[in-house]
Amino acid sequence: MEIFTHISDVKNYIHVKKIIGREIGFVPTMGALHEGHLSLIRASKNKELLTTASIFVNPAQFGPNEDFNKYPRPIEEDIELLKSVNCDVLFLPSVEEMYPEKAAVQMTMPLYTQKYEGEHRKGHFEGVMLVVAKLFNIVSPDVAFFGQKDFQQCAVVKQMVKDLSFPVKIEIIPTVREADGLAMSSRNRYLSAEERKKAVGIYQTLVYTKGLVQHEKNVENLIRHAYIYIEKFGFTQIDYIDIVQADTLQTLHIAEKENNPVMLITARCGTTRLLDNMYLYEN
């Protein structure tokens, strides 16, 4: 695996590969890699793309009271994991390389960022759009892979690519889960043994609602039942539970198959925020 820390070096390397006809698959990450990330690398490798991962803990997407400083950075472990799935290239820039000075450009997308993560993490998606746009310009991928777990992020990135005509195809890969159903996340490693047991409550609430939707289509009722169901797990706080139309993220009133409803849940387990989602009609 080739490892680059400088923008000019990774750009040159990819430029040469493109000239000889290679197509580039890109998996942007913040490191602390797990099976979820590796499934994105595998998806890219399966398409025979020259697979490039980036590891960059992007300060621009963390709020002042968030976990930027304590975000896990097990870089040696990450490199071994990437090698184990035959990742071709790793771009591993420093903060100074990515932001030699504070970016003057600000990216906003009110359409998709006023609710859910955008409401609870002010400025988060502005930071995500900035870094993803920058990374796309550096890596110039033909296909970029994102995990479904960050459902709202997927909608924001897809819209950004459409509006700004980035020549990249976005592929969304299903969430990878632990044996008990907990969605894999770099932040799961913050959970104590006690919190880890509770954490599965999010997945169980999604599955419960998916069962319920067979005979209850009223979204208000479904959400009320979900709040009652999740209570027993003892989360510190439920940030939101909602059912939205998958493509527009608009809240639904009736959860019918034709509307392609997705349930979004974010809850805090101790101080750790956990996100998950599920299509209510998919197998």
Looking up tokens 């998996």 gives: 27
Binding part of the chain for ligand PAF, among 127-135, 211-219, 230-238, 270-278 by CB under 6 A, reads 127-135
Kindly tell me which residue out of 132, 230, 255, 267 binds ligand PAF, with binding defined by CB under 6 A: 132
Residue 81 contacts by C-beta under 8 Å, 6 or more apart in sequence? Answer: 33, 37, 38
User: Applying CB under 6 A, does 98 fall inside the site for ligand PAF?
Assistant: no
CA distance 200 to 216: 24
CB atoms within 10 A of CB 237: 10
Nearest to 230 by CA among 203, 201, 208, 209: 201
In sign, the C-alpha dihedral spanning 227, 233, 236, 242 is negative
Task: Say if residues 261 and 255 touch (Cβ distance below 8 Å).
Answer: yes
User: Is 34 a residue of the active site?
Assistant: no
Kindly tell me which residue out of 25, 28, 141, 261 binds ligand PAF, with binding defined by CB under 6 A: 28
Kindly tell me which residue out of 10, 14, 24, 30 binds ligand PAF, with binding defined by CB under 6 A: 30
- We find the least distance from the C-beta atom of residue 40 to ligand PAF, in angstroms, to be 10
Nearer to ligand PAF by Cβ, of 26 and 208: the residue is: 26
User: Applying CB under 6 A, does 156 fall inside the site for ligand PAF?
Assistant: no
Nearer to ligand PAF by Cβ, of 14 and 128: the residue is: 128
Considering only residues 33 to 72 of the shown chain, the ones binding ligand PAF according to CB under 6 A are: 58, 61
Residue 169 contacts by C-beta under 8 Å, 6 or more apart in sequence? Answer: 142, 143, 144
Among the listed residues 15, 34, 37, 215, the single catalytic one is 37
Helix axes 151-163, 124-139, angle to 10 degrees: 60
- We find the least distance from the C-beta atom of residue 16 to ligand PAF, in angstroms, to be 25
- We find the least distance from the C-beta atom of residue 175 to ligand PAF, in angstroms, to be 12
Binding site for ligand PAF (CB under 6 A): 28-30, 58, 61, 128, 131-132, 150, 153
- Catalytic residue annotation: 37
